[in-house]
Amino acid sequence: MLPADWIPHRRDDGELLGWIRPEGDDWVAIDVLGRPASDAVDWLDAEAALEAVGLAWLADVWMLDGEAQEPLRVRFVEVTPPTAEAGRIVVKADDFGDMQRPPAERLVLPWPAPETLRPARAGDPDGRTIAR
C-alpha cells in the first residue's frame, strides 16, 4: 500500500502522473514507477517535475538488465501502483509491433520498479543488429 502521506498528482484529464510526498519542509515528486522525479523542492516545483516528466516515456523502449546475457529491450504492458494489493509492473520483450510473431513473454516486476529496469541508453542492443 502507498504511504498515507503520498498525495496523488493528476493531469487535467485525471490521469495519474505520480505522487508528491513530504520530506521535511519540502516535497519530492514520485513517478508512476515509484521512483523519485525530483529532489526535495517546494510544492510547485514538485508538481512541475511530474508535469515535465508526463507519461509519454511509458511508450519508449526500456531495458531490463539481468534477464539475458545482454540487456533485454522491453516495452511496458502494465503499471499498477499498490492499492489494497501489492503493485506490479508488467513488461514484454520488444517485438517491434510484429503481429506475425507469437506473443512475447511477459515479465512481472515488483512495484516500485527495480533498478534493473532502466531507460535505454547509447550502446544498448538495438534489436535490429545481428551480432556474429
Residue 66, CA distances (Å) to 27, 119, 130 in order: 33, 14, 20
Hey, which residues does 106 pair with through a beta bridge?
92
pTM of the predicted protein model = 0.86
Q: Please check the confidence at residue 97 and state whether its pLDDT lies above 70.
A: no
Tell me what the mean pLDDT of segment 21-42 comes to.
98
CA angle 46, 78, 5 (to 5 degrees): 35
Tell me what the mean pLDDT of segment 21-34 comes to.
98
Tell me what the mean pLDDT of segment 37-65 comes to.
96
Mean pLDDT of the chain: 91
Predicted local distance difference test score (pLDDT) of residue 126: 78
